[in-house]
Structure 1
Amino acid sequence: MLDTSRDQTPAPTDEQRGCLFALSQPPLMIFLTVIGALLLMAAVHDLFLL
Structure 2
Amino acid sequence: MEFVAIDVETANADMASICQIGLAKYIDGKLVDEWSSLIDPEDYFDFINIDIRHY
With structure 2 as the length reference, what TM-score do the two structures score? 0.20
More helix by share: 1
